[in-house]
Amino acid sequence: MAMTMTGEVQLPASREVVWAKLNDPAVLKSCIPGCEELNVAGETQFEAVAKMKVGPVSARFKGKVNLSDLDPPNGYRISGEGEGGVAGFAKGGATVALSEKDGGTLLSYNVEAQIGGKLAQLGQRLINGAAKKLADEFFANFGKAVQG
């Protein structure tokens, strides 16, 4: 099942500060809902373990995340894939763009993802709702991290 999601978040910090936080594994780990581990695996690679619950399906996903098209402090592309055992798999990517706005930074994102397995059987509405909730949670946490 394929899904897409776009959004914008206004953050009260300069692009340089937001860029630094977007590239800090400790900040990302604390902001990603359910993230248990986020380890640097290379200059632009991370390995992650996150526990997720979508409707009746709970799973621990293990995966890899890659950063590409780096354009500091304007944005990058983040892509990854994870396996959740019988729950299924998820893979996809997002383009993240930073621009100056109202004395702070506007972060825009465009996500494309594919899921399979039990997760895909839950239905588009439930999946989209869960994805939006996770994104909202991440950006609420990230907004707090940016404020320090």
User: What tokens were used for 67?
Assistant: 């950063």
Express each pLDDT in 124-147 by its tens digit: 888 888 888 999 899 999 999 999
Q: What is the residue-wise DSSP string for 40-67?
A: EEETTEEEEEEEEEETTEEEEEEEEEEE
pLDDT tens digits, one per residue of 48-79: 999 998 889 899 999 999 999 999 999 999 99
